[in-house]
Chain A
């Protein structure tokens, strides 16, 4: 196990280097940031001075080398737009994204698995068919449409839920949370549901498929025959065996939600990392974009590794050597 973790760590470093290198190459085609940094009316000489001050006159490989060296020391450079260090700028937004993604995953997991079990018990009832049809919608309707529809219905027409932002938040140390106020929770409902809609449908279908397979197994029939209460048969004997793939997918998706909840965050103007990334792309704020992408890679690599390790714990048959 220790060798496995070590190998994963080395892989992670290589991936991060590759990601940063690709980012740097792409930026060469993204246009010159100096022109906006020097101000609209700057002369050519003034622009060149700005270029020198920010070290953008150096050849790309020197800039890249400097970036890697500084990044290794935890310094990811300053945002071109807001002129403050990029990493804190992104981390400041982390709590918002984390709370949103966590809630979305919880909703998706509880509702998805719950409905999946329900549907698998009576696969041919009208209710089950309706749920399955709706889940198809959840997979195929794009997030931005779900978001706009939810806003239209619940904010504009019915008027019970706010349409944007985080509402009242409370600062706990470095963490700004919206989970401790009623207003904050109200603001969380719509974006979390939007973000969860796809994941929910996936988990639902996965659970249903697994359950249907397991429910037909001999040992389930034995369990029924023993006269065990349905609760025990379904949850203890059947569902438990379905959980491994479901947990894996949930874990992997959590990483994606953390890193790429961009569309949902933009529609609801959620002050999270995805929203910041989109603004930074529009403004060609290269240090923030690179830092973000590296951070996102790190999150996904970490979660994948954790899922792999959990897998080994859940299923002792699996060995990593």
Chain B
């Protein structure tokens, strides 16, 4: 009897112990992110800050995977280009939305048409570019565009599919706060300004994600965010501020992960007739006057890579041959003299103060460098909410901008940033200082319908060279570096994405 009791006890203890160790294996993660979601409606905000949250609740027809950002099938198993205007998508079967509704072609049609409604969408441009969305059968959709769009599918990872039935049925306010998608995570609770809690979608079509519970705490104040990690309240941190980098590295409990970001930072110069900047020699002199190595070393504390152009290497149109002009203030002075500006001139440099890493300081440094060659810079620094509308209205003379294109294709970006302002034709809406070059305009227009990838790559590379080397549209400065910090003890297996999205199905625990 006693022996039996002992065995029973021993057995219970073993079970309890096993159960305990199993419970101890981590399945949940708490992350402090530097940006918070504005809403849970996947079209209402086209910023990466919001899209990265949506990528966990929703799927697009395609997705960008992992550390390389490779284009991969998601809700569409495959797709083909029928002709220049027509795309055919073959949809994945047996996919269910979080509310149990099956995913079908009707949902795709509904979602794409919804993007054209400005009341709920910032993807109006995409929505309006569609001629029709045709449901062939439950799992085939044919999409026709009004004009050929070379990067059409490349950007579809940002266009998430919503459930038609529940979105139509619920009131608009509910749709804004409760996401119903097919994604790897379901929203458990969102308390605005406090946290977003998500739980794994066990029926996810790609297999249930490894981390079962995710709690994201958006903390915009950088020192508070760092304190949360240093005091062990969170497992991981995005957006480590440069000024705290050394402290993060010095902390033995923390691990730092960095990756070159896709975003490049550059100074755009207008070429309005009559302005000194209209002379390409002047623009070149200004380029040569900027000491980018010092900016990287002193301001960015080494966390940036020099850039010779706007696009980053994986982008169609990136030209590996381009090199930065060397820092040469004497040469710059000579060029200015040649151009007749020996005594210098005055230029206004506008820039945001709350958008890019060290944006304000970079503008201040640029002003000092330009002063050394005799150019007087008036600084006009302002919050992004005021700065970007001014770019859109073309009010500026010279300004700091950062950019990367979600399509991995430089064509769309160049049409917006570099083409002369031509609002009727839809070109140059973000050409903020009236830069204009007829040759560049022509090439940009020719690429609008250029679909063959080889030809397109060659043309865009050439265009890039013209804009950066011959015409000097801007002074390219550097690519930013994204910095993350993790608790070593948690052994998180994390590889940052090029677009900086936090996609939790791609994260796991090493142990």
Contact = CB atoms under 8 A, between A and B. Distances in A.
Interface of A: 30-47, 49-50, 53-54, 81-85, 89, 92-93, 96, 148, 151-152, 155-156, 159, 162-166, 169, 176, 266-269, 271-272, 275-276, 279, 281-284
List the 7 shortest-distance A-B pairs measured between CB atoms, nearest first.
Answer: A271-B193, A284-B385, A44-B423, A39-B122, A31-B389, A43-B426, A32-B389
A81 B38 contact: yes
B258 interface: no
A53 B194 contact: no
Which of A35, A38, A40 gathers the greatest number of chain B CB atoms within 10 Å? A40
B188 to A, nearest CB: 14
Contacts of A36: 122, 385, 388-389
17 contacts: A31-B390, A34-B389, A39-B122, A43-B125, A43-B426, A46-B125, A47-B392, A49-B118, A50-B118, A50-B124, A83-B120, A84-B173, A89-B192, A92-B192, A164-B217, A267-B224, A269-B218
Interface stretch (B228-236, B266-274, B318-326, B482-490): B228-236
Contacts of B385: 30-31, 36, 281-284
Interface string B165-204: 0000000010011000000000000011111000000000
A229 B7 CA distance: 72
A283 B383 CA distance: 9
A53 B192 contact: no
Contacts of A176: 191
B381 to A, nearest CB: 14
A40 B406 CA distance: 11
Given A42-B124, A50-B118, 6 more contacts: A49-B124, A53-B118, A84-B39, A165-B217, A269-B217, A283-B385
B227 A164 contact: yes
A282 B194 CA distance: 18
Q: Which of A30, A39, A84, A93 has most chain B Cβ within 10 Å?
A: A39
B125 A279 contact: no
A138 B430 CA distance: 48
B122 A38 contact: yes
A82 B39 contact: yes
Contact of B429 (A44, A82, A268, A284): A44
Contacts of B301: none
B375 interface: no
A269 B125 contact: no
A99 to B, nearest CB: 13
Contacts of A47: 392, 429
A220 to B, nearest CB: 48
Contact of B426 (A35, A44, A85, A279): A44
B384 to A, nearest CB: 7
A164 B228 contact: yes
A155 B231 CA distance: 6
Nearest to B37: A82
A43 to B, nearest CB: 4
B112 to A, nearest CB: 15
A276 B426 contact: no
B449 interface: no
Interface in B81-99: none
A195 to B, nearest CB: 15
B382 to A, nearest CB: 9
Contacts of B389: 31-36
Nearest to B354: A282
Nearest to A49: B118
A96 B191 CA distance: 11
Given A271-B194, A275-B193, A279-B220, A32 B230 contact: no
Interface string B392-429: 11000000000000000000100010000001101001
B471 interface: no
Contact of A269 (B39, B224, B231, B388): B224
Interface in B104-146: 118-126, 128
A269 B193 CA distance: 8
B223 interface: yes
A169 B195 CA distance: 11
Nearest to B176: A84
Nearest to B217: A165
